[in-house]
């Protein structure tokens, strides 16, 4: 996949990617950002309009909420690596298609391998189903899943927390569980 086997090499590969038709409609690929030795990796669904514009993950309203929730548990955005299942924005923010997820899967897998985080946080149903399989978010949130090679933590996507007050409170409680595990 990447010649250099580094996070920077992988970023360059993602920016040049043409594996699915989304490259034709994106403004910028959104590889993700954060330290190469982050203990925590956060994985969302796909870039939105603001992310497509800037080339950075979680910079819109969902990103503001995510940053606030991280700060509540004593983490800064600069301490974590943030990325998405898809690296290009689907038109009109539609859900990712299976073939798009499959095209981007090797990039996410390589990011996890290179960063080797203590915990990978899956934000929302799309991230969960794309990485570990279909689970009902109402049952899965706040729980860890050990794949044997990686430890995953499941919580809601910040966009859902913006829309539903109960989901917001659940996400806050989930992140407290996560923080306890990080200590």
Q: For 144-179, what is each residue's pLDDT tens digit?
A: 999 999 999 999 999 999 999 999 999 999 999 999
pLDDT for the residue numbered 5: 85
Record the pTM.
Answer: 0.95
- The CATH code of domain 7-182 reads 3.40.470.10
Taking residues 47-66, report their average pLDDT.
96
pLDDT value at residue 2: 46
Does the pLDDT of residue 74 top 50, yes or no? yes
Cα 103 to chain centroid distance, Å, stands at 16
Count of CB atoms within 10 A of residue 9's CB? Answer: 15
- pLDDT grade, residue 1 (50/70/90)? very low
What are 80-133's pLDDT values in tens digits? 999 999 999 999 989 999 999 999 999 999 999 999 999 999 999 999 999 999
Q: Is the pLDDT of residue 26 over 90?
A: yes
Residues 55-68, mean pLDDT to the nearest whole number? 96
How many angstroms separate the CA atoms of 137 and 32, rounded? 24
In the chain, domain spans: 7-182
Q: Strand 151-155 vs strand 119-123: parallel, antiparallel, or unpaired?
A: parallel
Q: In this structure, are residues 171 and 162 in contact, taking their beta carbons and an 8 Å threshold?
A: no
pLDDT value at residue 4: 57
């Amino acid at each position: 996949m990447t010649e250099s086997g580094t996070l920077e090499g992988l970023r360059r590969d993602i920016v040049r990617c043409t594996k699915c038709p989304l490259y034709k409609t994106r403004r910028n690929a959104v590889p993700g950002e954060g330290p190469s030795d982050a203990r925590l990796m956060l994985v969302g669904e796909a870039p939105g309009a603001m992310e497509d514009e800037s080339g950075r993950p979680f910079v819109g309203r969902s990103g503001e909420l995510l940053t606030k929730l991280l700060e509540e548990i004593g983490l800064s955005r600069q301490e974590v690596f943030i990325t998405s299942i898809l690296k290009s924005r689907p038109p009109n923010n539609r859900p990712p298609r299976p073939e798009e997820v499959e095209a981007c899967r090797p990039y996410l897998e390589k990011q996890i391998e290179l960063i080797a985080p203590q915990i990978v946080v899956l934000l929302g149903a799309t991230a969960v189903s794309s990485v570990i399989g279909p689970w009902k978010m109402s049952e899965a949130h706040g729980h860890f899943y050990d794949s044997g090679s990686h430890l995953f933590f499941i919580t809601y996507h910040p966009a859902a927390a913006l829309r539903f007050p109960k989901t917001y409170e659940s996400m806050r409680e989930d992140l407290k569980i996560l923080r306890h595990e990080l200590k």
